[in-house]
Structure 1
Amino acid sequence: MSKLLPNLPIEDLTPENDYIGIIEKGTLLKSFFLNNKHEFSQIKIFSIYGEWGSGKSTLMKYLQKELQGSFNTFFFESWEFESDENLSLSLLENLVNKNKSKYKKVKEELLETGGKLLEGFARSVTIKTPGLNISGDKLIKTVKEEKEPTFLELKEKFRKDFRNWEKEITTKDKSPDYNIVFIDDLDRCEPENILNLLSAMKLFFTYGKKTIFLCGIDKKAIREAVKTKYGEIVKANEYLEKIFDISFSMPKNVDTTKLVNLYFDDNVRLGDKKLGDLISDFFDKLQFKNPRRIKKVLNKYLIIKKLKESIVSRNIILPNIKNNDSGTLFETYLTLYLLILKEFEPDIYFNLYNLSLKKTNYRNSLNNNYKSENELSGAITSTLDYFDYDFLYLDFSDYDFSRNAFIKLLIYFSPIEVDVLRGYCFNSKDSFIKSFNVKNKTTEYYFILFLFDIQILVKNELRQQDYSINDYKKMITNLI
């Protein structure tokens, strides 16, 4: 039975639902952490690089479970503390308060010292390429308000208190001899808070000898944070190299088929192929592989599917997606594509059928690429003459879907922006690849390539549509 999937870490990870490759990656990292403890007095801060939604939280939750017993494990979901005035102090409190009944005196001393040291830290930290630094005047001023101790004494006291805390929780009978702290959800924090927490970790939390940190990091978020705070003065890559001793990366090859088939029953087939496999192939062809984004799109698709199956659907115009023995595969693809654009490419979605803007851009590009009037005229005829403003509203049930009609359809979905355009670019997939060049290939570019691949399907199934191409965009706009 198909069900909506949450955008949360996979709790009960198995080979069957591990569409990211977490188990394989987690096993490698587990071995690394277990076999390199002798290095942790010097190497203490690690990162897992992966874009938003790539499964960093799932991997760290898996590692936490696998390393329990060998490490004292802590999981700090930084975004939950985003509203706190001092994120680094929240981290410290999270560590020392995990077990509220033990080591009271040690914890109190560490919190007191840490509170004084980290108070005002966010205002005092600065970065000097290629390393970190502290604005001493600001921090000393904060410390002087307490009369004593001095900043240097406070640092030394924090070092001692942190190591005492480590000793208490790692040397008791049956206690693991090392701590590992997982830092999650940094991607979701404000740029200032991201940098302050990472800087505090590097400057103060590495005083320990038995505590290591593993951070899930979206490099794009860090780059934006560094740029927001420091402009071009500090290079994001240099900052990351200074913060993290060793970095790992999330698996790149997401098994889209495993994820998609969580939504579709195996018995839903088109000929000898499962519908889930066909949709998985669709996502792959569109280079749409981020697991969290796929789940968002399929959750909305499933809402439409359930609406069609309900009594409410009698009063609602719904896309004719494939469902049991009804619907068409092309309309299923079209619905998924429009959902992708609306959710993640809103500018493209807004201008999707803007033939006037597209025609202007294409004409300008042709003018720039042809110096001969005869060649330019031929290029314009082979491209711009297919711009048919009425085609968008056609009922295809009695339409003779010729080769020219397919080109008109392609033009409605082709990218608005083009860097280099030559004539006859819509004649075939090869012609399009050679003659329609864009520097940044987005989803709409790959959708055109996909339409070339399913050209026969499009021609056959468009005649079964009850709605025009324009109607589909209206439906998605109104429904979701």
Structure 2
Amino acid sequence: MNVFYNNKPYNMAENNDLFGTVFKAETIRSILDNSTEYFEENNMIALYGNWGSGKTSVMKYIESKTTRYKTVFFEAWKYEHDSNLALSLFEQIVAIIEDENEMSSPIIESIKVLGRSIFNFGKKLLHNSEISLYGITVATGLTENDIVSIGNRSFYAEVIEFNKKFKMLIEDYYQHTSRKILIFVDDLDRCESENILNLLSSIKHFFTDSNKIVYFCGIDKDAVNKAINIKYNNIIKSEEYLEKIFDLTFNMPEIISVDEFINDFFRKLNIQNNSERYSRELLQDFFRRMNFTNPRKVKKVLNKYIYLNDLFKSGLGVERHFPESFENHSPMQMVMIMFVIILYEFNRKLFDGIYDIESKFAQIINNHKAEQVYTEQSRSESLSSFINRYRASYKYLNINFGMSDSVIIEKRRNDIVMLIMSILPTDINNISVPALGSNNSNEVNTNITNYISQFRMTENKILYLFALQFFDLVSDINKKKYTDHSGNIGFYSLFQMANLYF
């Protein structure tokens, strides 16, 4: 049985809504079906969301549930090789109308010829266009003295004629079917920057005159912002640009609950042991605290864990490279492996930084304040001396719950600090070493937490957030909540496992 998650858009329904987005989709569907008069005057809609946030699944849901519209699903990325997305969109609209409508052939053929002529010159029009924002007009190409013509008519006349006939085409379809047309534009965030803006501009210029057609675009603001910065050199802000294009906007949730998804993941793996509840709770908490809730990314991480589970059970003799208690799916182990997967799949440079630990040791020393003294109960020494003592043994350091129960024991305390240093980012300088000379465990814990907090301004938040969570996991506070003791887990060996099998 295939237990892997499909990382493509899926047919969303209440019984498979692992991320809680059906309510959002149904709300938008209801607005579209019950406010058709509003959309006669406001026919440009955007659904904002990051890559992988579920925009396509929401649009597919609306497409399958709407009762008031004939739908067209335009996947922009599929047609990008044509270098003329507007023409591809136009031809898809006309083809669907032609298949369903008995409009006379001359009208269809006329609009086809005119459309091809217009969009073959489309880039010239777009280069000749202007965008006015807050009284500032930005010209994007030709001057008013330039003449663009098709045959014996000016380009201006051709555009007017096209708008007239396209409106006639849509109106005639409505008269024959009593249905308006809803165009979904998807996969824009996978297109080249120039093509994103060109398609949005073309829709606004050429396709919106009729009040019997609505455009629903999935938009990644980061992709649009990048495209605008490239084209307009930061003169125009993406928010201002999008406000000029779209009449109504919706947003995918920025933070999506992964709780039900994790529950489903445990069902898929058939994890049933004494630590199941703790593992489940800890994993849910892990994704929340890491701000790692993008549906597509979470699926990819869990699929990689499922792959490891299948590999472990394969009988291929790979067990020696896995944690000794891998088959137990213990709480600490699962969290640590998920962290390693996230780094490997989405932050490879950070993964390599920890895997190439010798280089990181040098960075750690350089990033701390010069002449800092690392104070222990039995000795004081320079940070470089402390790290040099640990170089040979670092790769064999083990993790388990309650490591800081014996935090006042010098060896265990130093293990914790060394592991935390190896996790933390290296883009923050002038760091003070933790003060660990006390024999009071609470004071030592506080000092370690304060040490980690010095990295809060890092650009590599994922390392900072995990360092905080890691220390919580090995502290005696968390031991009281998660009572399962999973044995020793070799921290560096997890990176070796990933490097070997991913």
- Shorter-chain TM-score bucket reads 0.7 to 0.9
Cα pair 1:79 1:188 within 8 Å, conserved? yes
Deviation at 1:268, TM superposition (A): 2.5
**Alignment partner of 1:424: what SS?**
coil
| Whole-angstrom CA distance in 2 between matches of 1:442 and 1:317 | 32
Q: Which residue of 2 aligns with 1:143?
A: 149
| Whole-angstrom CA distance in 1 between matches of 2:251 and 2:354 | 35
Amino acid at match of 1:118: F
Q: Which residue of 1 aligns with 2:78?
A: 80
Deviation at 1:143, TM superposition (A): 2.7
| Whole-angstrom CA distance in 2 between matches of 1:397 and 1:157 | 72
**Alignment partner of 1:436: what SS?**
coil
Cα pair 1:79 1:185 within 8 Å, conserved? yes
Q: Which residue of 2 aligns with 1:218?
A: 220
Aligned counterpart for 1:447 among listed residues 466, 471, 477:
466
- From the superposition, tell whether residues 437 and 125 of structure 1 become closer, same or farther in structure 2 (CA, over 3 Å): same
How high is the TM-score relative to the length of structure 2?
Answer: 0.82
- From the superposition, tell whether residues 97 and 477 of structure 1 become closer, same or farther in structure 2 (CA, over 3 Å): same
Aligned counterpart for 1:330 among listed residues 326, 329, 332:
332
Alpha-carbon displacement from aligned partner over 1:196-239 (angstroms, at most 9, x marks no partner): 10110111111222111111011110111112222223322221
Tell me, which stretches of 5 or more residues in structure 1 are unaligned?
A: none
Task: Report matched runs for 1:275-290 at 5 Å.
Answer: 275-290=279-294
Cα pair 2:275 2:330 within 8 Å, conserved? no
**Alignment partner of 1:51: what SS?**
coil
Q: Which residue of 2 aligns with 1:40?
A: 39
Amino acid at match of 1:4: F
**Alignment partner of 2:264: what SS?**
coil
Task: Report matched runs for 1:338-349 at 5 Å.
Answer: 338-349=340-351
Amino acid at match of 1:45: M
Aligned counterpart for 1:406 among listed residues 407, 416, 419:
416
Deviation at 1:29, TM superposition (A): 1.3
Deviation at 1:294, TM superposition (A): 0.9
**Alignment partner of 1:116: what SS?**
helix
Task: Say which is worse superposed, 25-34 or 203-212, in terms of deviation.
Answer: 25-34
Deviation at 1:261, TM superposition (A): 2.9
Deviation at 1:156, TM superposition (A): 1.9
| Whole-angstrom CA distance in 1 between matches of 2:19 and 2:229 | 31
Alpha-carbon displacement from aligned partner over 1:36-89 (angstroms, at most 9, x marks no partner): 32233331211111111000001111111121x311111101011011131001
Amino acid at match of 1:82: E
Q: Which residue of 2 aligns with 1:111?
A: 112
Alpha-carbon displacement from aligned partner over 1:421-460 (angstroms, at most 9, x marks no partner): 3332784364245433324352111111111121056999
Alpha-carbon displacement from aligned partner over 1:322-348 (angstroms, at most 9, x marks no partner): 665x45433332222111111111111
Task: Report matched runs for 1:314-325 at 5 Å.
Answer: 314-315=317-318, 317-320=320-323
Alpha-carbon displacement from aligned partner over 1:87-145 (angstroms, at most 9, x marks no partner): 0010011111124433344332222222111212124414545367674569975534x
Deviation at 1:242, TM superposition (A): 1.3
Aligned counterpart for 2:298 among listed residues 294, 297, 319:
294
Amino acid at match of 1:109: S
Alpha-carbon displacement from aligned partner over 1:13-41 (angstroms, at most 9, x marks no partner): 23343233322112221232233322333
Q: Which residue of 1 aligns with 2:56?
A: 57
Tell me, which stretches of 5 or more residues in structure 2 are unaligned?
A: 404-408, 437-443
Deviation at 1:469, TM superposition (A): 3.3
Amino acid at match of 2:196: I
Cα pair 1:263 1:276 within 8 Å, conserved? no
Amino acid at match of 1:477: N
Alpha-carbon displacement from aligned partner over 1:370-402 (angstroms, at most 9, x marks no partner): xxx8xx546895966653212322265999962
**How much identity, in percent, do the aligned residues show?**
27
Q: Which residue of 1 aligns with 2:500?
A: 478
Aligned counterpart for 2:172 among listed residues 165, 168, 176:
168
Q: Which residue of 1 aligns with 2:439?
A: none
Aligned counterpart for 1:423 among listed residues 424, 433, 446:
433
| Whole-angstrom CA distance in 1 between matches of 2:117 and 2:148 | 8
Amino acid at match of 2:474: Q
Q: Which residue of 1 aligns with 2:440?
A: none
